[in-house]
Amino acid sequence: MSTRVLADRVDPAALFLALERAEPDVFWLDAGASASEGWSFIGTGEPSAFPEDVPLDASAGDRPALDGDGSRPPLRGGWVGWYDYETGARAAGAPTSDSAQSAGGAWVRITRFAAFDHSTGRVWACAAEDLDDWAAFVTEQRSVDAQDAPALAAEPRRVDARHTAEEYAALIERCRDLIRAGIAYQLCLTTRFTVTGEHDPVSVYRRLRSATPAHHGGFVRIGGRSLLSASPEQFLHAEGGVIRTRPIKGTRPRNDDPVQDAALAAELATDVKERAENVMIVDLMRNDLSQVCEPGSIRVDALWAIESYPAVHQLVSTVSGTAAVGTTTGALFAASFPAGSMTGAPKLSAMTQLYDLEGGPRGVYAGCFGYIGDDGSLDLAMVIRSIVIDAESAVIGAGGGITWRSVAASEVAEVATKARAPLAALGAEMPAAWASDILN
């Protein structure tokens, strides 16, 4: 793929709006509206199967050299798309719900894209062919001509919940019974909210992006379905043969009062239940990565770090390892997907129990999305704080990890906290029984 640094500044939102009007399948891997570091990628491609044979170990042959200052884009060509929960659960041996609500994964082979380096302001045009034309198109997009996203209707749109708050609370108690019986140590219980009718995915994403900027946000449209995400969780990152995962377990809402906001973060940092839940998933991910990494290379780089976003505080840990010789994307997914942060532990037992409890598929929610590079680099986020839109409806998944120490009312409120911003972007509100603050 040919590349070129552009002399002019380009507005990412303007480029995306122009490109999505011209192409059926598009992506925007978005570091956020006010990002001052990291990369964003906007582009298009041709539908493709999941690239399972890409080598990830450092000995793999044809990796392009970085510039002397390491400033070239980490993505040089490859694939963008999503991998759904049921595909991974089925491959792992768990029972799954097969229905139109779980339509599988979707990927495109990148044909052209622009890379935005938010730390320097530089923009790269990258294309498999016709680089001059693509660079000219990108350079033209210097500002957003369109007005803000269209105003929402005065009346909130109707939301259909898979479970009532009372039903979800009862499922939490069933999870605690399973934990008491020794069938699982932790279960990531989830539910679903559906807003039926037509939606403009681009307008919805602009509202979501404005309200809840995230370092792993994104808009991916493939085959008529759109994934809109404000994900704060990096599932897998690989570069130079080093694989990392950053599971999130533990959530508190932000507060407008700085003192109360700091107190919420401090309470999360010391919460025994949240720390136990987080470390269980760290242990699970250490085990998963050990299946495809060199013996002795697994490290816990960070444990119980607090990361704060516009809507929530999160408890985040980081695990890494060196890919063993011969490790491929397919092998990595077989070892690590679905993510332990979205299943619980032990993983297979947890997925089997959740199939019985949840009453329907998760679909793209609890899967992952992002890019896989030709050179074995990858950056994949968890599909959380996300919306999936098709011609008939918009769907939001939300949930949380259940341990023996879980309190049903707090877990119900955590789901409401997580789903509130995506629903608001759709012009909908949480059903009344779910609409509470996390500490009530």
Q: Which residues of 222-260 are buried (b: 16+ CB within 10 A; e: fewer)?
A: beebbbbbbbbbbbbbbbebbbbbbbbbbbbbbbeeeee
Q: What is the pLDDT of residue 439?
A: 35
Q: What is the mean pLDDT of residues 183-198?
A: 96
Percentage of residues in the chain with pLDDT exceeding 90? 80
Catalytic residues: 233, 249
Q: What is the pLDDT of residue 251?
A: 85
Residue 43 contacts residue 26 (beta carbons within 8 Å): yes
Residue 423, CB-side half-sphere exposure with 13 Å CA sphere: 24
| Helices and strands (H, E) in the chain, number of each type | 10, 20
Residue 227 contacts residue 395 (beta carbons within 8 Å): no
Q: Residue 213: pLDDT band by 50, 70, 90 thresholds?
A: confident
Q: What is the mean pLDDT of residues 13-27?
A: 97
- What secondary structure does DSSP assign to 22-45, as a single string? H-SSEEEEE--TT-SSSEEEEEEE
Reported as type and span, the H/E element at residue 303 is strand 299-308
Query: Could you tell me which of 27, 431, 14 has the C-alpha nearest to residue 228?
Result: 27
Q: What is the mean pLDDT of residues 309-317?
A: 85
Report whether pLDDT(295) > 70. yes
382-415 pLDDT tens trace = 999 999 999 999 999 999 999 999 999 999 999 9
Q: What is the mean pLDDT of residues 334-350?
A: 96
Picking from 50-54, 143-147, 172-176, which range would have the lowest pLDDT averaged per residue?
Answer: 143-147
Residue 317 contacts residue 305 (beta carbons within 8 Å): yes
Q: Residue 440: pLDDT band by 50, 70, 90 thresholds?
A: very low
Q: What is the pLDDT of residue 249?
A: 86
Torsion of Cα atoms, 203 then 109 then 217 then 120, to 10° = -110
Residue 350 contacts residue 343 (beta carbons within 8 Å): yes
Higher pLDDT, 145 or 354: 354
Residue 299 contacts residue 318 (beta carbons within 8 Å): no
Angle at alpha carbon of residue 306, lines to 257 and 301, rounded to 5°: 165
Cα separation, 203 vs 321, whole angstroms: 40
Partners of residue 382 on adjacent β-strands = 368
Q: What is the pLDDT of residue 89?
A: 96
Q: What is the mean pLDDT of residues 163-184?
A: 97
Q: What is the mean pLDDT of residues 263-283?
A: 93
Average per-residue pLDDT for the chain:
92
Picking from 8-12, 102-106, 236-240, 282-286, which range would have the lowest pLDDT averaged per residue?
Answer: 102-106
Residue 157 contacts residue 36 (beta carbons within 8 Å): no
Cα separation, 21 vs 48, whole angstroms: 21
Percentage of residues in the chain with pLDDT exceeding 70? 93
Higher pLDDT, 277 or 113: 113
Q: What is the mean pLDDT of residues 134-145?
A: 87
* Tokens matching residue 137: 């198109």
Q: What is the pLDDT of residue 309?
A: 79
- Say how many Å lie between the first and final Cα of the chain, rounded: 54
Cα separation, 417 vs 178, whole angstroms: 26
Q: What is the pLDDT of residue 310?
A: 73
Q: Is the pTM of this model over 0.85?
A: yes
Q: What is the pLDDT of residue 103?
A: 62
Q: What is the pLDDT of residue 438?
A: 42
* Tokens matching residue 326: 């011969």
Q: What is the mean pLDDT of residues 112-121?
A: 96
Q: What is the mean pLDDT of residues 180-207?
A: 97
Cα separation, 3 vs 221, whole angstroms: 24
Q: What is the pLDDT of residue 154?
A: 63
DSSP state of 150: P
Q: What is the pLDDT of residue 45?
A: 99
Q: What is the mean pLDDT of residues 281-285?
A: 93
Q: Tell me the backbone φ, ψ of residue 307, rounded to 5 degrees.
A: -120, 135
Domain range 2-142+162-434, its CATH number among 3.50.50.60, 3.40.50.2300, 3.60.120.10, 3.60.20.10 = 3.60.120.10
Residue for token pair 């906007």: 42
Q: What is the mean pLDDT of residues 261-277?
A: 93
| Residues 6 or more apart in contact with residue 28 via CB below 8 angstroms | 12, 16, 40, 41, 42, 218, 219, 220
